[in-house]
């Protein structure tokens, strides 16, 4: 039915788990620490550690590993390109040569490192969005950035925009799907020709989509106003964030792991 | 010359844990000039069926032929089938995109490679069919009224002269005036020899206007026939999410109480029979 | 909960910016505590414009609209007015803000800055009234159309407003979804909530206390549903209203003297009356 599938977007999967119950700020900071860790660690021998951690956290979050892995699907192509570029362009001891193509040992190592880094980056970020509802995520970000509000940083507005964007992604995908089919039924040719032709062919999809998005935005603004929305001032929360001991412990463990990883990396290289 | 479905089945997300059967062995024929309704509850498979009629979706099992052309994977007739069977989606006014009425109307004919000298007459004819012949052609489609937009969107599908027109919930969001206008318009198309398949959850509407009705429940075509036949079947076996027309259910209850009234959904017929009976 | 609620419109005229014609052309209307009133009219009649005046989303160009004595043109009264009158709109997808059921239901009370425990009890109550208990943590996109619209109603209820305005809230739903919403609305009215229902479907006004017909921005008629149906299909058609088949049957039976026009046009009651 769908050209695009909801599940590939690393969307929130509700479950009753330790990870789901953690404060979103803890999860956001832990994810940032992990992303830093993925960049700090260069030695390939330590990478199975990331895999182990990923499996462990998925199990703790009661989310099937297959679903976590699927969240990386949109970047598989990018990962492959990155790997190919590094395989062929890294100088060093040649392992194999064919015409102008040379593969070096350093190239293979570099390619694996870059590809795996990118992959873990996306997978750890995916774990965050799979276990944290958009509302929690934006609440968390809003609170983390709140200290910047006096400096004019629109923490609340950005958080609200993010919430709404996430809320409407599935709806807009359905809408895009329907319009594409409607234009296909009118004989549109959406997937042939070069990139310029394809972009032109997409105008009959893009224009109606813009019209719908603006209509929606207008309706939504009216509905939000009718429901008493006046920006972030004076707003309270159904589920206010509570930083508990377990959040501190969880974050500390993750940071400790990252530091240990970085230290081990130095020691190994 | 007809549109024939034989034992058509279709599943979504095939081969994954999410696999769901949307159509299970549906058979149906549409003859030229006929007005057929496909009636069912949300999730009965009626929109999936609509997309099979013009080969946007292809059956996993079973056979679909349009005027003898086969709709199957790899068939080189798929494009021709899509031209012959026009498909109008729900809220078709949302598909409008061009800067002028003329451009909007010419989109389909150009896509199907109609010779330029034929596009003008085809557009004129299609606009006349939906009662928009007098519309200024340079006007932006977005400046039209809601009802005009919907009719323009239907005309844009008619502009490639399809033999069959499939409409998914064409009356959604219209008030009674708009609804009646649209039904009159469809009736006019039928008189021009175009077969119409109307997908709807409104059984009352189908009974009032259509020649043949196919009732879907969970992807199965439960009943198929003239309104009278389908009504008799519906009285025997209720269908999920589809309530009987109130007048019909009332007539049935009257008969159970011993009144001699026909099993009809026409209020006047029931009222007159009742007047004779009581008076 | 409806005690003392009243909304008064006097000579309300309204034109949208950059248009010549008035969407509302001198409307006088009073909405009283605890009643269920339907504003009936075809598309473009001005009924939705009128609805948006009731909670100050629009303010009259001329005339006055008072909600419990508060003028809707008064910026300072907006917050209070929106707590008195909650709205549900036509397209469920365009009014749900959050991606998770309970978080959307909580949006209004959150804006009002209520304490979390109060929000929690209101959300639980509103979701249970709307038959959505057990779906608190479900993602909104997994709901059916009828469920989404019930969530929109729950979001309005969580404000505990004395008055609920439904602006064609059933127009985009299938028959089952429509019934779901109408059942919730009847229940709420039974609990004393004032209901203003905007629709073009006569079959939805059978259980209302009062009907106001709007066409061309003007209030054409006011009265009970029974009196409205008694006007006959032809007059109703001139206001762009189509009489549903069962009501036509009821009209025929009343016209032929077979039925007392005091019997409401519901199949059960008509059948009982005929059997007597």
A63-98 pLDDT, tens digit per residue, is: 999 888 988 888 888 889 888 888 888 877 778 777
**Closest-CA residue of chain C to A6:** C141
* Contact B107/C at CB under 8 A: no
Q: In chain C, which among 215-274 make CB contacts under 8 A with chain A?
A: none
Residue B164 tokens, joined: 């069959």
Model pLDDT for residues A11-37, shown as the tens digit of each residue: 778 788 999 999 999 999 999 999 999
Minimum distance, in Å, between the CA of residue A163 and any CA atom of chain C: 7
Taking CB atoms and an 8 Å limit, are B204 and C245 in contact across chains? yes
- Cβ contact C274:B279 at 8 Å: no
Q: Which residues of C touch B144 (CB under 8 A)?
A: none
3-state secondary structure of A253: helix
Taking CB atoms and an 8 Å limit, are C99 and A135 in contact across chains? yes
Decide if pLDDT at A153 tops 80: yes
**Closest-CA residue of chain A to B159:** A186
**Torsion C133-C138-C139-C143 (CA) sign:** negative
The per-residue pLDDT for B191 is 92
The domains located in chain C, with CATH, are 6-243 (3.40.50.300)
For the residues A101-117, what does the mean pLDDT come to?
87
**Closest-CA residue of chain A to C109:** A236
**Closest-CA residue of chain C to A136:** C103
Instruction: Compute CA distances B68 → B34, B54, B163, whole Å.
Output: 18, 13, 13
Taking CB atoms and an 8 Å limit, are C249 and B42 in contact across chains? no
As a residue count, chain A comes to 269
The per-residue pLDDT for A85 is 86
Picking from A186, A203, A208, the nearest residue to B108 by CB comes out as A186
CA dihedral A248, A250, A251, A257 (to 10 degrees): 140
The per-residue pLDDT for C3 is 58
* Contact B111/A at CB under 8 A: yes
Give me chain C's average pLDDT, please. Answer: 92
| Cβ neighbours of residue B181 closer than 8 Å, sequence gap 6 or more | B147
- Cβ contact A216:B129 at 8 Å: no
Decide if pLDDT at A222 tops 70: yes
- Tell me how many residue pairs between chain A and chain C have CB atoms under 8 A apart: 108
- Cβ contact B124:B137 at 8 Å: no
Instruction: Compute CA distances B22 → A2, A157, B19, C174, whole Å.
Output: 13, 42, 9, 19
pLDDT more than 90, % of chain B: 84
The per-residue pLDDT for A227 is 93
- Please tell me the distance from the alpha carbon of residue C77 to that of residue C64, in angstroms, as a whole number: 14
Taking CB atoms and an 8 Å limit, are A220 and C112 in contact across chains? no
Determine the CATH number of domain B3-241: 3.40.50.300
pLDDT band at C20; cut points 50, 70, 90: confident
For the residues B158-174, what does the mean pLDDT come to?
94
Taking CB atoms and an 8 Å limit, are B12 and A1 in contact across chains? yes
Q: Which residues of B touch C215 (CB under 8 A)?
A: none
For the residues C145-153, what does the mean pLDDT come to?
94
Q: Is residue C4 packed enough to be buried (19+ CB in 10 Å), middle (13-18) or exposed (0-12)?
A: exposed
pLDDT band at C1; cut points 50, 70, 90: very low
Model pLDDT for residues C43-97, shown as the tens digit of each residue: 889 999 999 999 999 999 999 999 999 999 999 999 899 999 999 999 999 999 9
Kindly list the partner chains of chain C, i.e. chains with 3 or more CB atom pairs below 8 Å: A, B
- Please tell me the distance from the alpha carbon of residue C83 to that of residue C64, in angstroms, as a whole number: 19
Picking from C93, C99, C107, the nearest residue to A227 by CB comes out as C107
Assembly ipTM: 0.88
Residue A251 tokens, joined: 């974050």
pLDDT band at C128; cut points 50, 70, 90: very high
CA of residue B192 relative to chain centroid, distance: 16
Model pLDDT for residues C166-196, shown as the tens digit of each residue: 999 998 888 888 998 999 999 999 999 999 9
**Closest-CA residue of chain C to A167:** C99
Buried b or exposed e, range B73-87, using 16+ CB within 10 angstroms: eeeebbeebbbbbbb
Decide if pLDDT at A152 tops 80: yes
Minimum distance, in Å, between the CA of residue A217 and any CA atom of chain B: 15
Minimum distance, in Å, between the CA of residue A54 and any CA atom of chain B: 23
Minimum distance, in Å, between the CA of residue A227 and any CA atom of chain C: 5
* Contact B132/C at CB under 8 A: no
Which sequence spans correspond to the domains of chain B? 3-241, 245-279
Site from A139, A157, A214, A238 to mutate, C interface, most C CB atoms within 10 angstroms = A238
Taking CB atoms and an 8 Å limit, are A185 and B142 in contact across chains? no
Site from B149, B176, B254 to mutate, C interface, most C CB atoms within 10 angstroms = B176
Residue B167 tokens, joined: 């409409």
For the residues B120-140, what does the mean pLDDT come to?
94
**Closest-CA residue of chain B to C203:** B246
Going by C-alpha positions, the residue among C214, C251, C208 that lies closest to residue C230 is C251
Q: Which residues of A touch C119 (CB under 8 A)?
A: 236-238
For the residues C18-37, what does the mean pLDDT come to?
93
- Please tell me the distance from the alpha carbon of residue C236 to that of residue C215, in angstroms, as a whole number: 11
pLDDT band at C125; cut points 50, 70, 90: very high
- Cβ contact A124:A69 at 8 Å: no
* Contact B185/C at CB under 8 A: no
Q: What is the pairing mode between strands C194-199 and C163-167?
A: parallel
**Closest-CA residue of chain A to C51:** A226
* Contact A163/C at CB under 8 A: yes
Decide if pLDDT at C233 tops 80: yes
- Cβ contact B58:B75 at 8 Å: no
Decide if pLDDT at A3 tops 50: no
3-state secondary structure of A96: strand
Picking from C43, C245, C252, the nearest residue to B178 by CB comes out as C43
Model pLDDT for residues B249-259, shown as the tens digit of each residue: 999 999 999 99
For the residues C148-169, what does the mean pLDDT come to?
95
Instruction: Compute CA distances A156 → A20, A138, C139, C229, whole Å.
Output: 23, 8, 22, 52
Instruction: Compute CA distances B160 → A195, B66, B198, whole Å.
Output: 27, 16, 19
Model pLDDT for residues B24-67, shown as the tens digit of each residue: 999 999 999 999 999 999 889 999 999 999 999 999 999 999 99
Going by C-alpha positions, the residue among B132, B134, B51, B50 that lies closest to residue B96 is B132
Q: How many CB atoms lie within 10 A of CB A157?
A: 12
Decide if pLDDT at A2 tops 50: no
Model pLDDT for residues C251-265, shown as the tens digit of each residue: 999 999 999 999 999
* Contact C99/A at CB under 8 A: yes
For the residues C26-31, what does the mean pLDDT come to?
95
**Torsion C124-C128-C131-C135 (CA) sign:** positive
Taking CB atoms and an 8 Å limit, are B108 and A181 in contact across chains? no
pLDDT band at C118; cut points 50, 70, 90: very high
* Contact B245/C at CB under 8 A: yes
* Contact C264/B at CB under 8 A: no
Instruction: Compute CA distances B134 → A164, B128, B138, whole Å.
Output: 42, 8, 12
Q: Is residue C263 packed enough to be buried (19+ CB in 10 Å), middle (13-18) or exposed (0-12)?
A: middle
Model pLDDT for residues B197-245, shown as the tens digit of each residue: 999 999 999 999 999 999 999 999 999 999 999 999 999 998 988 889 9
Minimum distance, in Å, between the CA of residue C209 and any CA atom of chain A: 25
* Contact A134/C at CB under 8 A: yes
CA of residue B22 relative to chain centroid, distance: 18
Taking CB atoms and an 8 Å limit, are C79 and A228 in contact across chains? yes
């Amino acid at each position: 039915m769908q050209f695009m599938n909801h599940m590939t977007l690393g969307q929130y999967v509700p479950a009753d788990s330790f990870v789901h119950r953690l404060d979103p700020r803890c999860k956001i900071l832990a994810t940032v620490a992990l992303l830093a860790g993925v960049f700090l660690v260069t030695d390939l021998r330590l990478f199975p550690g990331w895999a182990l951690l990923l499996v462990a956290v998925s199990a703790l979050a009661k989310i099937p590993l297959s679903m976590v892995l699927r969240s990386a699907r949109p970047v598989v192509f990018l990962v492959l390109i990155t790997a190919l570029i590094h395989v062929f362009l890294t100088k060093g001891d040649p392992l194999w040569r064919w015409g102008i193509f040379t593969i070096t040992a350093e190239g293979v190592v570099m390619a694996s490192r870059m590809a795996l880094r990118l992959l873990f980056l996306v997978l750890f970020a995916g774990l965050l969005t799979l276990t944290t509802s958009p509302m929690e995520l934006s609440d968390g970000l809003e609170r983390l950035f709140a200290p910047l509000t006096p400096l004019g940083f629109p923490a609340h507005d950005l958080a609200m925009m993010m919430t709404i964007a996430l809320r409407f992604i599935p709806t807009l995908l359905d809408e895009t799907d329907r319009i594409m089919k409607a234009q296909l039924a009118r004989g549109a040719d959406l997937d042939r020709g070069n990139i310029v032709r394809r972009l032109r062919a997409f105008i009959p999809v893009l224009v109606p989509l813009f019209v719908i998005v603006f209509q929606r935005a207008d309706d939504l603004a009216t509905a939000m106003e009718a429901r008493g929305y006046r920006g972030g001032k004076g707003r309270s929360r159904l589920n206010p964030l509570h930083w508990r001991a377990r959040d501190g412990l969880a974050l500390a463990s993750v940071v400790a792991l990252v530091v240990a990883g970085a230290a081990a990396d130095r020691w190994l290289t | 010359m007809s549109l024939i479905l034989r034992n058509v089945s279709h599943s979504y997300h095939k081969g994954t844990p999410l696999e769901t059967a949307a159509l299970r062995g549906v058979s149906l024929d549409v003859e030229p000039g006929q007005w057929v309704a496909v009636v069912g509850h949300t999730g009965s498979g009626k929109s999936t069926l609509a997309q099979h009629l013009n080969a946007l979706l292809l059956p996993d099992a079973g056979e679909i032929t349009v005027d003898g052309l086969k709709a199957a994977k790899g068939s080189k007739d798929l494009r021709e089938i899509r031209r012959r069977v026009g498909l109008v989606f729900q809220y078709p006014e949302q598909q409008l995109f061009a800067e002028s009425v003329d451009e909007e109307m010419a989109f389909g004919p150009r896509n199907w490679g109609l010779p330029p000298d034929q596009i003008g007459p085809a557009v004129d004819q299609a606009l006349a069919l939906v009662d928009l012949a007098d519309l200024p052609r340079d006007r932006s489609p977005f400046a039209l009224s809601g009802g005009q937009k919907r009719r323009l969107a239907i005309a844009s599908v008619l502009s490639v002269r399809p033999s069959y027109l499939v409409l998914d919930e064409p009356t959604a969001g219209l008030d009674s005036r708009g609804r009646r206008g649209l039904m009159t318009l469809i009736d006019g198309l039928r008189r021009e020899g175009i077969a119409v398949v109307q997908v709807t959850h409104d059984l009352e509407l189908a009974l009032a206007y259509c020649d043949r009705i196919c009732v879907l429940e969970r992807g199965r075509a439960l009943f198929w026939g003239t309104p009278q036949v389908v009504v008799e079947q519906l009285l025997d076996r209720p269908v999920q999410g589809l309530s009987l027309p109130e007048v019909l259910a009332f007539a049935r209850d009257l008969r159970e109480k011993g009144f001699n009234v026909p099993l009809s959904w026409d209020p006047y017929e029931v009222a007159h029979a009742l007047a004779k009976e009581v008076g | 909960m409806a005690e003392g609620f009243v909304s008064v419109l006097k000579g309300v005229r309204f034109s949208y910016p950059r248009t010549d014609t008035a969407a509302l052309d001198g409307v006088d209307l009073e909405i009283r505590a605890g009643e269920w009133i339907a504003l009936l009219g075809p598309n473009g009649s001005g009924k939705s414009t009128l609805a948006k005046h009731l909670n100050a989303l629009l303010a009259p160009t001329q005339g006055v609209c008072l909600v419990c004595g508060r003028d809707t043109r008064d910026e300072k009264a907006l917050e209070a007015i929106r707590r008195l009158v909650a709205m549900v709109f036509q397209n469920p997808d365009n009014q749900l803000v959050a991606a998770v059921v309970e978080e959307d239901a909580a949006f209004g009370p959150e804006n009002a800055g209520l304490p979390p425990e109060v929000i929690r009890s209101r959300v639980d109550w509103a979701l249970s009234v709307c038959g959505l208990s057990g779906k608190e943590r479900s993602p909104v996109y997994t709901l059916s159309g009828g469920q989404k619209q019930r969530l929109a109603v729950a979001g309005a209820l969580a404000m505990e407003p004395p008055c609920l305005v439904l602006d064609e809230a059933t127009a985009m739903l299938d028959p089952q979804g429509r019934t779901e919403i109408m059942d919730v609305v009847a229940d709420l009215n039974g609990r004393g909530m004032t209901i203003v229902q905007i629709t073009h479907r006569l079959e939805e006004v059978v259980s209302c206390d009062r009907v106001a017909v709007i066409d061309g921005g003007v209030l054409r008629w006011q009265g009970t549903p029974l009196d409205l149906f008694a006007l006959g299909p032809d007059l109703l058609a001139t206001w762009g209203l189509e009489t549903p088949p069962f009501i036509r049957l009821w009209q025929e039976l009343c016209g032929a003297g077979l039925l007392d026009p005091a019997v409401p046009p519901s199949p059960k009651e008509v059948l009982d009356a005929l059997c007597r």
